[in-house]
Amino acid sequence: MKILIIGSGGREHALVWKISQSKRVTRIFAAPGNPGMMPLAERIDIKPTSIIELADFAQAEKIDLTVVGPEQPLALGIVDEFNSRNLKIFGPTQKAAMIETSKSFAKEFMRKNNIPTSEFKVFVSAAEALDHFSRAQFPLVVKADGLAAGKGVYICRKKEEAVAAIHEIMLEGKFGKSGERVVVEDFLSGQEMSFMCVCDGRRIFPLATSMDYKKALEGDKGPNTGGMGAISPAPQLSRELFNQIMKSIIQPTVAGLKFENKEFKGLLYAGLMITRDGPQVLEFNARFGDPESQVVLMRLKSDLVDILEGAADENLFEVAADWDEGVAGCVVLAAKGYPQKYSSGHSIRGLERAKSLGVEVFHAGTELAADGLVTAGGRVLNVCATGPSLKEAMAKVYDGISFITFDEMIFRRDIGWSRK
């Protein structure tokens, strides 16, 4: 089989790594990919948002299955384009991806389907949102409605912070059209969990659970990021909680989307808060989590291609998965300043020595320069390992990190330990 992976981050590198282990796969392309994927994948110079070019490439190369990593191509309708050309692709249609691409759609959908989530209001006028804050209880959460590269969520402890959020999102237009509408919702506290399932429109194939660490700094302080690390399984998972999540959240979501003619085929990611009243949805994503996928895929022993193809072919009932019983951990090495301004182009050293300890290093923001590998993004590398316990997995990850250097490298030293 020939596979095309769309995207260039750590999640996509982990997908390439796992897919390359399939006996069914002969060739993998990545558009645009990253240097860490070589020689497992051939890099193609097409942007994830150039959906017509990607479909032309898949058609010309006779790609058997395309796997979409990031959300932007889903929002642009890449799956609809591939479907119209009879090209097999893993991911939801533009309509189904609205569960991620419109926060107000997702919240109203949850309200209609009795899916547990916090109370909320939707505003299309800044004046009305600001007026609401004079009567609201704090803390609360302000969210840009559309895609905002993980930066559109503001946790506001007091009124001034919520007012500043509305200024940025609606009045200054920080996220463009994505900020023309906002969701204002109650703040939830508890333990976070990421629950990812592969869906074929009707059937649900739950993957191993995970938890990511969204805050930039140790002790869960500082601004939100795309994720500074992850572990799998989520520490608080019990069989009872798993059943509750499936019954109260995942099953009604998949059934409700099908009822609305938005059959969800692809990866459904539920970002959950496990509260004293049970699991509640913080957000849905329509694609693999990053860095959660890195740790989940490290634990998958079965052929990922069978699972992804099962979803695309609507026959998920034929697949099964076998998981490593241990724990996987991942720590993100980032550039100082991330998630705000940071510099790039710094030489990266020590990867081979780190890998000799048995860790996997998935690239996120790297490029090949004339004199070797250099940094080229906010999140630069993901250092991942498995072990029989969380302690052993994390010790291996941090041993691996001790060999890696680049100027202005930052990372959290408490992944796996801190509790929110």
Tokens (6 digits) for 343: 């510099």
Q: How far apart are the first and last CA of the chain?
A: 43
Applying CB under 6 A, does 9 fall inside the site for ligand GLY?
no
| 211 contacts 328 by C-beta, under 8 angstroms | no
Applying CB under 6 A, does 12 fall inside the site for ligand GLY?
no
- Comparing CB distances to ligand GLY, the nearer of 346 and 378 is 378
- Comparing CB distances to ligand GLY, the nearer of 29 and 284 is 284
Residue type, 384: C
Applying CB under 6 A, does 227 fall inside the site for ligand GLY?
yes
Query: Contacts with ligand GLY in 136-165 (CB under 6 A)?
Result: 150
- Comparing CB distances to ligand GLY, the nearer of 58 and 67 is 67
Tokens (6 digits) for 318: 């034929």
Tokens (6 digits) for 302: 């079965």
- Comparing CB distances to ligand GLY, the nearer of 25 and 381 is 381
Applying CB under 6 A, does 10 fall inside the site for ligand GLY?
no
Residues with Cβ within 8 Å of 222's Cβ and at least 6 positions away in sequence, in order, are 215, 216
Distance between CA atoms of residues 318 and 241, nearest Å: 26
- Comparing CB distances to ligand GLY, the nearer of 291 and 310 is 291
Applying CB under 6 A, does 225 fall inside the site for ligand GLY?
no
Taking the complex as a whole, the smallest distance from the CB of residue 175 to ligand GLY amounts, in Å, to 16
Taking the complex as a whole, the smallest distance from the CB of residue 171 to ligand GLY amounts, in Å, to 26
Strands 140-144 and 191-200: unpaired
- Comparing CB distances to ligand GLY, the nearer of 35 and 226 is 226
Q: How many residues bind ligand GLY (CB under 6 A)?
A: 8
312: number of Cβ within 10 Å: 23
Query: Contacts with ligand GLY in 277-336 (CB under 6 A)?
Result: 285, 289-290, 292
Distance between CA atoms of residues 416 and 328, nearest Å: 10
Taking the complex as a whole, the smallest distance from the CB of residue 382 to ligand GLY amounts, in Å, to 11
CA distances from 71 to 102, 278, 287, 298 (A): 12, 28, 6, 22
252: number of Cβ within 10 Å: 18
- Comparing CB distances to ligand GLY, the nearer of 64 and 145 is 145
Query: Contacts with ligand GLY in 191-220 (CB under 6 A)?
Result: 212
Applying CB under 6 A, does 100 fall inside the site for ligand GLY?
no
CA distances from 296 to 44, 63, 262, 308 (A): 26, 26, 27, 15
Binding site for ligand GLY (CB under 6 A): 150, 212, 226-227, 285, 289-290, 292
